[in-house]
Structures are given as structure tokens and as C-alpha cells.
Amino acid sequence: MNYYELATKRKSTRDFKDKEVSESNIAKLKAYFLDCKRLVPTINVEFKIIDPKLSPMMNGCVGYKDYLIEAPHYLLILSEKTDHYIENAGFIGEDLVLKLTDMDIDTCWVTISDSEKLKERLNLNTDKEPVALIAFGYEKTVLSIKRLDIKNLSNVTMKKRSGYEAPKLYIEDAIYAEDMGIKDETSTLDHYTDLYQALVAACCAPSFLNLQPYRFIIDDGLFVLVSLEHPQTSEEDQALNLGILMLNFYAVLSQRSGVYGKWELKAPEKALELPDGGEIVGYFKI
């Protein structure tokens, strides 16, 4: 798997064909889950493929405004409830999404609005919490690739995605502060190819309504992830957003550099200037 190509190629699909994914490909996905990347490996998680006959039962407790995107298949990640369990589910789920993308299978993250109701509706006999839901299958043919650009619910436009180098959140806007001269002169990143591609992958990470309420600080060899408050993004959705982003950044930087670091889910010891409403999620040594 080439994580950079997959992270920049992946797009959310909301209109699926009535065509099932083969049993052999679903078996590959299940096998991949056993060894896929974890943000917090000690957290106990489960993976389930939802029986398509049960998918109507999910209406009213999943999806944007509780509207379920119809797809031939859904995968569900359940987790024990502990520190960072939602971020971990987002991290795992995005690795599975990129595996599906590598298999030429289309995907869409689906919001879980009522986990207890979902658990009851699907008759899940487990003590774990439904945390992440992903629709997958094959996209209906479209004439051009577009994405929603949502500033707020009254300001929604469509933009064509012009290729691999077009993240939703541009790097010069994503970096809040740094010690490398990047904010004023992004060509500085030309000398840090691995970091540049990891940043592009992070900026391409899907988020709730494409709002991307987070920013990055690069300071003294640290890549710091900062969460921003947004009235349209719940704490649960934001935690998933952050886990997804952390997978993209980690996977691309580690694969390209050959140095497998890890996310430290805490603030660094040094004081940093933060944007208004910003909170440090964690940092990665670069």
C-alpha cells in the first residue's frame, strides 16, 4: 500500500451501485483488520460487517441528520470505553478505508448519532461501544469528481478536485506557527519531502462536513496537532476526525522516511502559542 497515493486518491462516496463486494475481498478486509495500525494498541476493539438486511434498522441513529447513506455493505468498529478510544477507532477505521481504496472499493464515513440505539437495533451482544461506521461498495458512475465545500449550512458550494496535490485544507492555511519559515514561504517544505507529503495526506483527511477544525504547529522538531472548537462538530465527531488525520500523517511519514515514530497524546513540555479556542491533542517527533 502506498499511503500517500491512497490518502490523496480517496474520496467520500455517497451514491453506491447496487453491487456487492466479493466474499474474497471482505475476507481480505477482515484479515487486514487483525494487523492494521492502532493509535493505542492496548485498547480492545471489535470489527463487524453489518448484514445488509439489517441496514434499515440503522435509520434514525446514524448518518448526517440521522439520514443513512445507502450502501451494499457497512463495517462497524466497536471499542471498550477508555482514554482516546474514539481517536483510536478513527485511526483504525481510516487504515481500513485506505485498504479498501487500495482494493478499488469506495467508502464513506457515517456519523453515529446514537450509539446505544444502534447497539439495540442491531442486537449487538457486546459490552463494547459502537464508535465508527463506514459504508463501502462501488460508486455509481459520475461525470466529474467534485467535493462539498461547506463553510456553514447556508454557504455550501461544489469544487472540482484537481488532482493529488489539492488537499481540502491547504498547507499554508493549516500551519498556525512554526520555526521553519513555512507559514510565509511554503517552498521551505521542498527540502522536507517526507514531511510535505505527510502534511498533504493530513490535509486530505476526511472530517465531518469537511469542516476540518484543526491546525498544525511545527516547532523544534515537533509536529503538534491542535484541535479547534466548531459549533457544528460534536466532541465525538471531532475525536474521530483527529484519529483519521493522525493515521494519514503517521502512515505517510513513517512509510516514506522509514522511521516509525508514534503519536504522543499529550502536550509537549514547552509552551506554544495556540489559535483562539485551540487545544493540543498530541505531537509527533519529526
Query: How many domains does the structure of the chain reveal?
Result: 2
Task: Tell me whether residue 145 is in a domain.
Answer: no
What is the length of the chain?
286
Q: Is residue 144 part of a domain?
A: no
- Say whether 128 sits in a helix, a strand or coil: coil
Residue 88 lies in a domain: yes
Residues 14-30 have pLDDT tens digits of: 999 999 999 999 999 99
Q: Are strands 155-160 and 214-219 parallel, antiparallel or unpaired?
A: unpaired
Q: What is the pTM of this model?
A: 0.86
pLDDT at 160: 44
- Do 26 and 129 share a domain, yes or no? yes
Long-range contacts of 225-231 (CB under 8 A, 24+ apart): 225/280, 225/281, 225/282, 225/283, 225/284, 226/176, 226/274, 226/275, 226/278, 226/279, 226/280, 226/281, 227/278, 227/279, 227/280, 227/281, 228/275, 228/277, 228/278, 229/277
Any domain includes 142: no
Instruction: Indicate the residue among 83, 113, 137 that finishes a domain.
Output: 137
Q: Do 10 and 56 belong together in one domain?
A: yes
Contact 33, 98 (CB under 8 A): no
Residue 241 and residue 207 in contact, taking contact as beta carbons nearer than 8 Å: yes
Last residue within a domain, chosen from 106, 137, 168: 137
Q: How confident is the model at residue 208 (pLDDT cuts 50, 70, 90)?
A: confident
Helix, strand, or coil (residue 98): helix
- Kindly state whether residues 280 and 162 are assigned to the same domain: yes
Q: How far is residue 159's CA from residue 169's CA, in Å, rounded to a whole number?
A: 13
Using pLDDT thresholds of 50, 70 and 90, give the confidence band for residue 142: low
Same domain, 214 and 116: no
Residue 131 and residue 173 in one domain? no
Q: Does 123 lie in the same domain as 22?
A: yes
* 258 lies in the same domain as 161: yes
Whether residue 122 is found in the same domain as residue 185: no
- The grid coordinates of residue 233 equal 462538530
C-alpha distance across the termini of the chain, in Å: 22
Residue 169 has pLDDT above 90, yes or no: no
Write a three-state SS string for 207-255.
CHHHCCCEEEEEECCEEEEEEECCCCCCHHHHHHHHHHHHHHHHHHHHH
Mean pLDDT value across residues 199-214? 88
CATH at 259:
3.40.109.30
Residues 79 and 158 both lie in one domain: no
Does residue 47 sit in the same domain as residue 133? yes
191 pLDDT higher than 70: no
Q: Is residue 220 part of a domain?
A: yes
CB atoms within 10 A of CB 234: 13
Burial of residue 269, with CB atoms counted within 10 A of its CB: 0-12 exposed, 13-18 middle, 19 or more buried: exposed
State which of 107, 137, 167 marks the end of a domain: 137
Instruction: Provide, for the chain, the percentages of residues in helix, strand and coil under a 3-state DSSP scheme, each rounded to the nearest 5.
Output: 35, 25, 40
Report yes or no on 14 lying in a domain: yes
**Angle formed by the axes of helices 235-257 and 193-203, nearest 10°:** 150
Host domain of residue 80:
3-137
Q: What is the CATH number of the domain that holds 71?
A: 3.40.109.10
